Structure formats: structure tokens, C-alpha cells
Amino acid sequence: MNSGVLGDARILWRLLRGKPAGGSHAENLQAFYGPQADGYDAFRARLLHGRHAMLAALEVMPGNVVVELGCGTGSSLDILDEQVDGLGRLILVDLCPALLDKARVRAAGRSNVMVIEGDAARWRPPAIADRVILSYALTMMPDWPRVVANAREMLRPGGRIGVVDFHLPEAANPVEKLFWRNWFAHDGVDLSSARLAELRRQFPLHFATEERGPVPYLPGLRVPYFSFLGIRS
Ligand SMILES: C[S@@+](CC[C@H](N)C(=O)[O-])C[C@H]1O[C@@H](n2cnc3c(N)ncnc32)[C@H](O)[C@@H]1O
């Protein structure tokens, strides 16, 4: 069990060391997240804000085919909880084997949940999707415009996309922008306002909010993030 202060210390050490940049994108993700996999959920529950509200707004329906791109450890399974049993299929996709191992443990015994190793920019589901989820994943995907286009393509007309991620508000002052951009770049998170703008463009029918939430161990610091709900036209 890797919980509590010791688990947090391991995660913080990895975050301080930053995401390696030497190998392929998949290799770098594995090198970064492999040592964090045990403590990932406990730490990220306090850092990745807005996931519960985004998944509630997505309104998954019985029988739906739901795809999560960049699923990590599959923590959305816990958030969706009993709704998962009624789904047609929940497909969890990620490029990092260490985090997918955790997702497989979560999905064990659920015959309608598939866990897939694949690249969100290219992977396509076997059936058209009713819902697509991207939770704190777009900012870690180098080819994110292609991921947004791919997500749109896999959705049926009227289907919904729910996205929550770190963000740089247009209104932030230049010093704050510089601070957050550098802070996140160290861990492979590319911060800008471009993702929210592209989502708005690709999904003209949408609802979006820009918010802030606390950062573990850093009282007073409020990290900006956005929530986005789009409907495929
Ligand atoms: C910050 S984690 C978020 C995980 C999870 N969605 C959550 O909310 O806890 C970002 C995830 O995106 C995955 N990822 C990054 N690039 C990817 C890509 N091109 N295709 C699939 N997954 C990718 C990483 O492996 C990682 O699991």
C-alpha cells in the first residue's frame, strides 16, 4: 500500500524530477508514471479538480458506448460507479502500460469494460460512441488537435464530449501565465488557452466554465482549469 505522506513524497519527488524527454512519447509516459502508479490516485484526487462534475454533466445513459481517451488508472470507473453496469460498453484507452495495469485491476469482473493500449490521436472504437471523455489528458498529448478531431469523428451526431483540464485563462496576467506555463512544462503538461478555443470551434454547441482549485501542500495557490461539455453537430 502506497498511501499517506510517504506515497505523496514519492509522487512529489517524481514531479520535481519532471517528465523524461529522451524516448518516444509512450516511453516517456511510462518512465514518468511507472514509479507514480501506486500513489497516483490518492495524490491526483486532490489536484485534478472538476472530474466528478464533468462526468455528471455528461449524463451517460444506459446502453451508451462511452470512450475515455487518456484514461490513466481508470478512476472514472469509480466516479461513474453503478452507472457503469448499465452501459453498453466503456472503453478505456491510454498509452501508458503502468497506469493501464491499474485500470485493468479496476475493470476486473466488469464484462462491458475494455482497457486498451492505444494512441488517442489515432485509435478508433469498434462502434460509434455516444460519449467521449478527456480528463486532464489533452494537455499531455503532443498531437492534441488531432485528438480533438479524432474524438469528434468517433462520436455520433448528438453525442457528447466531456473535457476537464488545466488551463491558462486569457485574462491571467503575464507573470502568472509565465509561472504556470513553466511549472507544468517540467512535468510534460503543455498549458495554454488553445485547447479550450479549439474545443469551442469543433463543438459549436457547448457549455464551458473556467475555474480554479487548490494544489496539495501549497496553500494559497489556486490552479486554473476548465470544464467543457460539447455536443457533436
Ligand atoms: C494526467 S493523466 C490523466 C489520467 C486520467 N484521465 C485522470 O483523470 O486521472 C494524463 C494521461 O494521458 C495519457 N496520455 C498521454 N498522451 C496520450 C496519448 N497520445 N494517447 C493516449 N493516452 C495518452 C497518459 O498516459 C496519462 O495516463
CATH of the domain at 207: 3.40.50.150
**Per-residue pLDDT, 212:** 95
Q: What is the band of 2 on the pLDDT scale with cuts at 50, 70, 90?
A: very low
Separation of CA 172 and ligand 1 centre (Å)? 26
**Per-residue pLDDT, 230:** 98
- Residue 48 CA, closest ligand 1 atom number: 8
Q: Given ligand 1 and candidates 19, 95, 167, 187, which is best to mutate, with the most ligand atoms within 8 Å of its CB?
A: 95
Separation of CA 7 and ligand 1 centre (Å)? 20
Residue type at position 72: G
Residue type at position 35: P
What tens digit of pLDDT does each residue of 26-59 get?
A: 999 999 888 888 888 988 888 899 999 999 999 9
Separation of CA 120 and ligand 1 centre (Å)? 9
Q: Average pLDDT in the 76-91 region?
A: 96
Total residue length of the chain: 233
Whether the pLDDT of residue 8 is over 80: the answer is no
- Work out the burial of residue 228: count CB atoms within 10 Å of its CB; fewer than 13 is exposed, 13-18 middle, 19 or more buried: buried
The answer to the question of residue 14 being in a domain is no
Whole domain around residue 176: which residue ranges?
47-231
Mean pLDDT of the chain: 93
Characterize the bridge pairing of strands 65-69 and 222-231: unpaired
Whether the Cβ atoms of residue 26 and residue 15 lie closer than 8 Å to each other: no
Closest residue CA from atom 25 of ligand 1: 96
- Residue 72 CA, closest ligand 1 atom number: 27
Q: In this structure, how many other beta carbons lie within 10 angstroms of the beta carbon of residue 16?
A: 9
- Element of type H or E holding 44: helix 40-44
The answer to the question of residue 152 being in a domain is yes
The answer to the question of residue 18 being in a domain is no
What tens digit of pLDDT does each residue of 99-146 get?
A: 999 999 999 999 999 999 999 999 999 999 999 999 999 999 999 999
Closest residue CA from atom 26 of ligand 1: 72
Cα–Cα dist 76/197, whole Å? 25
The answer to the question of residue 106 being in a domain is yes
Tally of domains in the chain: 1
Whether the pLDDT of residue 207 is over 50: the answer is yes
**Per-residue pLDDT, 76:** 97
Tell me 43's DSSP state: H
The answer to the question of residue 15 being in a domain is no
Q: Given ligand 1 and candidates 96, 124, 191, which is best to mutate, with the most ligand atoms within 8 Å of its CB?
A: 96
Cell numbers that stand for 84 in this block: 457503469
Q: Average pLDDT in the 198-203 region?
A: 98
The answer to the question of residue 8 being in a domain is no
- Work out the burial of residue 141: count CB atoms within 10 Å of its CB; fewer than 13 is exposed, 13-18 middle, 19 or more buried: buried
Q: What is the band of 227 on the pLDDT scale with cuts at 50, 70, 90?
A: very high
Closest residue CA from atom 27 of ligand 1: 72
Whether the pLDDT of residue 1 is over 70: the answer is no
Whether the Cβ atoms of residue 93 and residue 120 lie closer than 8 Å to each other: yes
Question: Which residues neighbour 14 within 8 Å (Cβ) at sequence distance 6 or greater?
Answer: 32, 35, 36
What tens digit of pLDDT does each residue of 58-78 get?
A: 999 999 999 999 999 999 999
